[in-house]
Amino acid sequence: MKILKPASYGLILSLGLMLTFTSCEKDPKAMELPPAESLVIDWDAFPNNAKKSAELIAGNWFYSAGTIVVWNVVVGANILVPTTAYAAAFNTAPVYLGDNSWEWSYTVKVGQFTYAANLVGARIDNESFSMSMTLSQVGGFQDFQWFTGIIRYDGTSAVWTLSYNPDNAAEYLEIDYSKDFETDVANIRYTVIDPQNELYQGYIDYGIDPELDYDAHYTIFKENNTTYIEWNTSTNAGHVKDQIHFGDANWHCWDSQLQDVDCNVE
């Protein structure tokens, strides 16, 4: 019977410990997905529950609402598919790819079409990670990278870049999101970054600040003109400023019923 030398026992013990540690090692924890609100402006936040009288349709609230709707139609329609697909990722567990990268793979239906989604997150450094969304339409386009993003691990900021669609892969929209979780101050801005687009360098900015009397706002910039819209989310009263539309730099107000009112007595 062959007797192992002491050195051989040591080697066997070392190998056994290595196998034990290797088998017990777990994949690192995936990053938390940034909230869906980091990609999507809350278009329903603006008050719209009043009766549409003739006076109201000609009023300050109506002009504000119409300006917001234009951006919703022009910008919001182009990002419906990728943002809806992203929201579905929260119902899917990620798979570790190695090298501090994870993948969320799933299918999602948007309208009459079904899409296969692949969302990949990868660590950049101790403070931030990247994300990219690739979509394939069942019976249609394949492997189109619709958007990318850079996100802070603490969730306080995200910057996304979106393309138009599979027929036009040009980068179209930059989305800048920030939130202070101590004060609940939050802001999201859509900026058109395609030089060929008529809204190039234009933007719509939506924000919430609970400490302000007018605690919600939209700021809209287009062709060297800025429209400022602010309102109180509890009362719905608010005001709008637009020098080109109103011909002055004053605030123009509405009350809780969305009817025009003198700003000095609102």
Please report, rounded to a whole number, the percentage of residues in the chain having pLDDT higher than 70: 86
Point out which residues pair with 113 in neighbouring strands: 110
Lowest mean pLDDT among 19-23, 82-86, 253-257: 19-23
Give residue-wise pLDDT tens across range 133-189. 999 999 999 999 999 999 999 999 999 999 999 999 999 999 999 999 999 999 999
- Asked whether the predicted pLDDT for residue 24 surpasses 70, the reply is no
Give residue-wise pLDDT tens across range 39-73. 999 888 999 865 555 555 669 999 999 999 988 88
Rounded-to-integer distance, Cα 147 and Cα 88, Å: 15
Rounded-to-integer distance, Cα 30 and Cα 83, Å: 21
Rounded-to-integer distance, Cα 262 and Cα 172, Å: 40
- Asked whether the predicted pLDDT for residue 78 surpasses 90, the reply is no
Residue 58: what pLDDT? 65
**pLDDT, the chain, mean:** 88
Q: Nearest 5°: phi and psi at 50?
A: -95, 160
Q: Exposed e or buried b for every residue in 119-149, given b needs 16+ CB within 10 A?
A: bbbebeeeebbebebbbbeeeeeeebebbbb
State CA 27 to chain mean position distance: 28
Give residue-wise pLDDT tens across range 190-239. 999 999 998 999 999 999 999 999 999 999 999 889 999 999 999 999 99
| pLDDT band at 4; cut points 50, 70, 90 | very low
Q: Tell me what the mean pLDDT of segment 103-114 comes to.
A: 96
Per-residue tokens: 256: 């809780």
| pLDDT band at 253; cut points 50, 70, 90 | very high
Residue carrying the six token digits 């013990």 = 13
Is the model more confident about 75 or about 66? 66
Of these ranges, 7-11, 15-19, 166-170, the one predicted with the greatest mean pLDDT is 166-170
- Asked whether the predicted pLDDT for residue 12 surpasses 50, the reply is no
How does strand 225-231 pair with strand 238-241? antiparallel
Per-residue tokens: 29: 């924890």
Distance from the first to the final alpha carbon of the chain? 101
Residue 74: what pLDDT? 82
